Structure 1
Amino acid sequence: MPTMLEVTDVSAGSVCCAPLVTEPLGQTDAEQLAVTLKALADPARLRLLSIVASSEGQEACVCDLIEPVGLSQPTVSHHLKVLTEAGFLSRSKRGTWAYYRLQPAALAGVTEFLAI
């Protein structure tokens, strides 16, 4: 014997879903956040960011970042470039060396989103 399904009349204006209580991410914000999160979605980048954040003044020379992550200098430089373009680090040149400084506001933005 077939089971009878109960039919709910939705034509009377009843709402099946709870209304939004805050504004969701717009397309542009979602795309920017995706780029930002993608920059963090790599173990080497997370380690580099952690090393810079743990360094005195939250700043480190590229020369001090190569050995701890065990990658070649060009690879480390690539990862640092991605983190800089995503806004997590700033870069300054001193002589032949590049120094990277943590940008806490970028981390705060990601933290704020994830706390929703």
Structure 2
Amino acid sequence: MDFKDNLPIYIQIMNYIKREIITKNIKEGGKLPSVRELSSTLTVNPNTIQRAYAELEREELVFTQRGMGTFATEDVKKIENLKREMAKELVDNFLIEMQSLNFTIEEIKNLID
């Protein structure tokens, strides 16, 4: 995973895990890698992974079972909402970038068609 300088690493890790859940690479209720395992894979401090997991838990996208690990939510509706939110963010960013290049909404629509 290539980290960018413009966003904290723990947020980039959160976004990565969210994508894994949305694309079903991590199934509903599926086990996430341990903090130690993911920190080794991504070569980041375990505290950074722990912070990402804690934030995902706060957002109710994962849950932790003591002694067993961290698991993706089983709430399909929550996953669908996350998918829509992320898609909306992508579209919004796309439109902002296109408008910064002086494309009109009509020109953007024509390009998409």
TM-score normalised according to structure 2 size: 0.48
Comparing both structures, which one devotes a greater share of its residues to strand?
1
Comparing both structures, which one devotes a greater share of its residues to helix?
2
Return the index of the structure with the highest Cα Rg.
Answer: 1
